[in-house]
């Protein structure tokens, strides 16, 4: 077997131009990635150790930018807002998505329509999703105000109130991304083996027992993957907040991405903003790698 | 019987939650500004297409649309060609020190890093190259993002294609690259389509880099152009809602047409 594979490999690689072929095929992609991703990554690291004025570096400040982050109340607040936003949104999405996937597991009429319609929120341009929700929340033109006035109430105050605006943002994210959870979890449910469930039915186990002892434990790895994917993605949320609230009112919905953007392009603190973004990148990478390790352990057990 | 009723009610509820916000967007876009802010009607009493006409006559939406189409087309097309070749090399060749596998892993790691991390250096790079507010600047940026994605997606598709077919072609006198082009690539066409579709979706919708890298209708894309309509105090709801419809329509129709292929990309390969 090994010998045959060896022979096959030899024949495949041939001679002359064929020897260079793998490198020729890899080169264009690597060059683009090197120029537009790797170089900027390195340049970003370099920028994060400098102070800038009007977009050009004026002095090296070492790790000062990084140190400053942790005594910057606005940064710490934006980090806290982001963690709250991610934790709340992703939890709701996981629970609702799971419930919906369980609901759709059995074929019934209307399920195809449901699945088609559920694609819409996640493919609409995020900027437009934010416009949709501004149109719902707006105190003068909003759907909530129109509905409330139709039943004799007053204007709905959503985006002007810090707590309501934050909840409004979470609702937007749940509306946009629950369908993704649903799709992943439905595929997971459909790929579970049938035998344990049939055995449980023969034994006369109730629906709740089946869920708690079979479905949920077997779905744990898929659920973990879905949650990790969404968490990483939600951490970088920018477009929707930029259009919906621009981070306000006050700092109520100012996620780290928004604070970083403002630091760089509004306050022109290029080096400091670069340090902020590098920090976010490290947090997300750490999150991803610990999640992967966790998943491996779940798989092994 | 009661489970059937519960199913119907749940289905209707979910459909309403998803579709009502979209209904409100479309309905607002068909009203005049006075009807929107003063009368607060639940549906357009005097439907009008003025808001749409104004987008193209007064607000440059023609340019935004052109820019979006050009930038999306080129960045996806280049990334697809380059990415397919790279993925093929990673899957089929065994290089010294397992270099090809390391490159694959490296590109995957790059995908995990949120793009926002390189926002500032990419901005500085385009500034120094004089590529701010140009098609080329956006195309270069989006192509790079798409390449890592295309390589990673195409890898899994090439793995599913048996190597014997290429060998047969080479026994018949084809070169290695010829076998790739004439045998493997056509067989991977559905995979290429799925990859392209998802890349189009993400590229067309991208906002953050378009926000930082473009400033005038010369290069502004649809999402970027739409965001210019958002005032802080006085908002032109009529134009904004019409812009939302125009901005979302191409991509929603496109997505519904090809939804079968979408799921894999949306779920980062977690679902096939």
Q: Which residues of B187-205 are buried (b: 16+ CB within 10 A; e: fewer)?
A: ebeebbebbbbbbbbbbbb
Nearest to B98, CA basis, from B106, B255, A227: B106
Domain ranges of chain A: 17-64, 66-300
Residues 122-161 of B with CB under 8 A from A: 122-125, 127, 140-141, 143-145, 147-148, 151
- Quote the ipTM score: 0.86
DSSP per residue, B153-217: HHHHHHHTS-THHHHHHHHTT--HHHHIIIIIHHHTHHHHHHHHHHHHHHHHH--HHHHHH--ST
Decide which of 1.10.3720.10, 3.40.50.2000, 3.40.50.1820, 1.20.120.330 is the CATH code for B58-266.
1.10.3720.10
Identify the weakest region by mean pLDDT among A188-192, A203-207, B256-260. B256-260
pLDDT band of B272, cuts 50, 70, 90: very low
For chain B, domain boundaries: 1-48, 58-266
What is the arithmetic mean of pLDDT over B182-201? 85
Query: Given this model, what pLDDT does residue B233 score?
Result: 55
Interface of B with A in 74-103 (CB under 8 A): 78-79, 82-83, 85-86, 88-90, 92-95, 100, 103
DSSP letters for A270-299: HHHHHHHHHHHHHHHHHHHHHHHHHHHHHH
Q: Given this model, what pLDDT does residue A7 score?
A: 47
Q: How far is B177 from chain A (nearest CA, A)?
A: 8
| pLDDT, position A10 | 46
Q: Which of A110, A122, A280 sits opposite B116 (nearest CB)?
A: A280
B14-45 confidence digits (pLDDT tens): 899 999 999 988 888 888 777 777 666 777 77
Tell me what pLDDT residue A300 has.
58
Over residues A76-90, mean pLDDT: 94
Q: What is the CATH number of domain A66-300?
A: 1.10.3720.10
Quote the mean pLDDT of chain B: 84
Of the partner residues A17, A40, A119, the one whose CB lies closest to the CB of residue B255: A119
- Rounded Cα distance between B99 and A79, Å, is 38
Residue A299: what pLDDT?
Answer: 59
Nearest CB neighbour to B176, from listed A14, A55, A120: A14
């Amino acid at each position: 077997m090994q010998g045959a594979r060896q022979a096959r490999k030899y024949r495949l690689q041939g001679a002359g131009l064929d020897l260079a072929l793998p490198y020729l095929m890899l080169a264009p992609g690597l060059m683009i990635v090197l120029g537009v991703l790797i170089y900027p990554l390195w340049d970003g690291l370099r920028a994060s150790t400098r102070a800038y004025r009007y977009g050009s570096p004026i002095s090296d400040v070492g790790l000062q930018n990084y140190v400053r982050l942790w005594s910057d109340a606005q940064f710490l607040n934006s980090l806290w807002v982001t963690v709250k936003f991610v934790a709340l949104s992703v939890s709701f999405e996981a629970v609702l998505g799971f419930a919906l996937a369980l609901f759709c597991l059995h074929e019934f009429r209307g399920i195809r329509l449901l699945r088609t319609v559920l694609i819409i929120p996640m493919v609409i341009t995020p900027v437009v999703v934010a416009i949709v929700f501004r149109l719902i929340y707006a105190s003068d033109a909003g759907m909530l105000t129109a509905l409330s006035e139709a039943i004799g109430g007053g204007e709905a105050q959503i985006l002007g109130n810090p707590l309501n605006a934050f909840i409004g943002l979470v609702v937007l994210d749940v509306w946009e991304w629950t369908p993704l959870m649903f799709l992943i979890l439905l595929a997971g449910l459909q790929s579970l083996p049938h035998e344990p469930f049939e055995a449980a039915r023969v034994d006369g186990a109730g629906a709740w027992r089946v869920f708690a002892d079979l479905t949920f434990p077997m779905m744990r790895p898929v659920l973990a993957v879905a949650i990790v994917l969404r968490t990483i993605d939600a951490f970088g949320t920018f477009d929707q907040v930029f259009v919906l609230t621009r981070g306000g009112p006050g700092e109520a919905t100012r996620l780290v991405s928004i604070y970083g953007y403002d630091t760089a392009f509004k306050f022109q603190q290029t080096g400091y903003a670069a340090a902020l973004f590098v920090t976010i990148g490290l947090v997300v990478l750490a999150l991803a790698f610990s999640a992967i390790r966790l998943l491996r352990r779940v798989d092994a057990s | 019987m009661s489970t059937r009723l519960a199913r119907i009610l749940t289905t209707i509820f979910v459909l309403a939650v998803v579709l009502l916000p979209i209904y409100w967007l479309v309905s607002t876009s068909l009203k005049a500004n006075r009807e929107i802010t003063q009368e607060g009607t639940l549906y357009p009493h005097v439907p009008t297409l003025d808001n749409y006409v104004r987008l193209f006559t007064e607000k440059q939406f023609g340019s935004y649309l052109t820019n979006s189409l050009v930038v999306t087309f080129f960045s996806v097309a280049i990334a697809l060609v380059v990415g397919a070749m790279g993925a093929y090399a990673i899957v089929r060749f065994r290089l010294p020190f397992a270099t090809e596998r390391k490159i694959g892993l490296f590109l995957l790691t790059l995908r995990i890093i949120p793009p926002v991390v390189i926002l500032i250096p990419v901005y500085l790079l385009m500034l120094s190259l004089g590529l701010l507010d140009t098609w080329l600047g956006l195309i270069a940026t989006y192509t790079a993002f798409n390449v890592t994605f295309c390589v990673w997606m195409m890898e899994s598709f090439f793995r599913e294609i048996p190597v014997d077919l290429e060998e047969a072609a080479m026994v018949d006198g084809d070169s290695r690259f010829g076998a790739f082009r004439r045998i493997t690539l056509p067989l991977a066409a559905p995979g290429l389509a799925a990859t392209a579709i998802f890349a189009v979706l993400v590229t067309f919708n991208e906002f953050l880099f378009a926000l930082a890298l473009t400033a005038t209708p010369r290069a502004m894309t649809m999402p970027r152009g739409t965001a210019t309509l958002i005032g802080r105090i006085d908002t032109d709801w009529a134009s904004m809602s019409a812009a939302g419809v125009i901005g979302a329509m191409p991509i929603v129709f496109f997505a519904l047409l090809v939804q079968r292929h979408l799921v894999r990309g949306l779920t980062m390969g977690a679902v096939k």
